[in-house]
Amino acid sequence: MKKISLLGATGSIGQQTLDVLKQHPDQFQLASMSFGSNIELGRKAIADFSPKLVAVNDFEAYTLLKQEFPQVTFTYGVEGLIEAATIPDAEIVVNAVVGSVGLLPTLKAIECKKTIALANKETLVTAGHLVTEHAKKYGVDLLPVDSEHSAIFQCLQGENVKSLERLIVTASGGSFRDKKREELAEVTVEEALNHPNWSMGAKITIDSATMMNKGLEVIEAHWLFDLPYEKIEVLLHKESIVHSMAEFHDRSVIAQLGSPDMKVPIQYALSYPERLPLQSTKQLNLWEIGELHFGKADFERYRCLQFAYDSGKIGGTMPTVLNAANEEAVGAFLKGHIKFLQIEDFIENSLSKHSVIPNPDLQIIQEVDIETRQFVQSLYS
């Protein structure tokens, strides 16, 4: 029986993680969980899985649930998130919160020698060097949950990573993949949230529409697989069936395929190195799909992709700025404060005014994160 700590239990990945746990009650047990403010889903998860400890970010929800479930220990805020991530019972922490708020609990969980199943890509973008160094120091596995990285991780099983030539990260193109750049100026939040292949949280759905999601994933791949940016490529693939590929020196390319269903990579991270059945996921019948399409990534159409490669290559605090500016700009777009293309403009502005600090420690990362958010806010308020 593996005991799990789940951060972000009410989100898209969180709910699908609970679904995987439900399908294997003899394999997994929920030791602790956290969520932001969705009290209905939070309440249901507590009733269904009886975790020992629950961290809530919203004070009202925290007070209410504390009275409803006297047998459960409740904690609050970022401190609470850390407590949930470091609970002694759990051996795996699934980090499925959205944004750089996931960084501190990840570092603390690593210090407690927990295996990290990482969906929260912002953690690796904002401070990839700290997280990977920490994982090495404490001998902890960082297991990818993101479908592309899980695919690559699966392709690399039994291989010598020294014979890797290149990683090919596939991209669906998001909600506006059939629109020209000129058509993006007036798109609405509702249109942007309508992803053709995946049902996901709001922030990552907007990131998919700007292609920043793929940019963040390139940086995530750089840290997870320790490859230079020149060896990580993005390939447009609108069906989301080939989840990513690894090319080796001998020109052999290994791909991982499957129905687009996040429960597959979530479960693989939980069951690794074993595989468990997953009845709820549709079998892949390529004859039903008929054709798969591939295209070259266009860096002018998708400027965020270029920003991400550039920031990643510069390194230091630049990816921290990229991530914080993006989180803030996407938040502003979702609230209706700015237009879609202003997301790119605000990120570009933030990057161009930043003086890079090489090899930043945690405190510098946190300062740069806050400063960048304040700068972006000043651009529209």
Residues that bind ligand NAD in the complex, under the rule CB under 6 A: 8-14, 34-36, 38, 57, 81, 96-98, 101, 119-122, 146, 198, 200-204, 262
Pick from Mg ion, ligand NAD, none: which does 354 bind, CB < 5 to 8 A by kind? Answer: none
Identity of the residue, 30 or 330, whose beta carbon is nearer to Mg ion in the bound complex: 330
320 binds, among Mg ion, ligand NAD, none (CB under 5 to 8 A by kind): none
> In angstroms, what is the minimal distance from the CB of 44 to ligand NAD?
13
State how far the Cα of 181 lies from the Cα of 204, in Å rounded to an integer.
20
Residue 123 or 317 having the CB closest to ligand NAD: 123
Residue 181 near residue 304, CB atoms below 8 Å: no
- Which tokens go with 315? 């390194």
Q: Strand, coil or helix: what is 148? A: helix
- Name the residue with the smallest CB distance to Mg ion: 146
**Binding positions for Mg ion, rule: CB under 5 A:** 146-148
> Quick one: 101 or 142, whose CB is closer to ligand NAD?
101
In the complex, the smallest distance separating the C-beta of residue 204 from Mg ion, rounded to whole angstroms, is: 8
Please choose which of ligand NAD, Mg ion, none residue 34 contacts, taking the beta carbon within 5 to 8 angstroms, the exact cut-off set by kind: ligand NAD
- Nearest Cα residue to 219 out of 266, 167, 255, 260: 167
Cβ atoms of residues 118 and 95 within 8 Å:
yes
Least spacing, CB of residue 249 vs Mg ion, in Å: 26
Which residues are CB-neighbours of 188 under 8 A, at least 6 positions away?
A: none
User: Least CB distance from residue 258 to Mg ion, whole Å?
Assistant: 13
Which of ligand NAD, Mg ion, none does residue 219 bind to, with CB < 5 to 8 Å depending on kind?
none
Q: How far is CA 225 from CA 18, 100, 110, 124, 232, in A?
A: 28, 21, 18, 12, 10
Shortest gap between Cβ of 11 and ligand NAD (angstroms)? 2
CB 147, CB 169: distance < 8 Å? no
The nearer residue to Mg ion, 152 or 351, going by C-beta atoms, is: 152
Joined together, the tokens standing for residue 168 give 């090919």
Give the nearer residue to Mg ion in terms of CB position, either 45 or 118.
Answer: 118
Q: CB-wise, 12 or 311, nearer to ligand NAD? A: 12
DSSP state of 355: P
Per partner kind, with CB cut-offs from 5 to 8 A, the member of Mg ion, ligand NAD, none near residue 97 is ligand NAD
- 96, interface contact from Mg ion, ligand NAD, none, CB < 5-8 Å by kind: ligand NAD
Rounded Cα gap, residues 159 and 60, in angstroms:
50
Query: Which stretches does DSSP call E strand in 66-191?
Result: 73-76, 92-95, 115-118, 142-144, 164-171
Q: Which is nearer to ligand NAD, 163 or 199 (CB)?
A: 199
* Spatial CA neighbour of 80 closest among 59, 55, 58, 62: 55
Burial of 47 (0-12, 13-18, 19+ CB in 10 A): exposed
User: Phi, psi at residue 186, to the nearest 5°?
Assistant: -110, 15
The least CB distance from residue 215 to ligand NAD, in Å, is 12
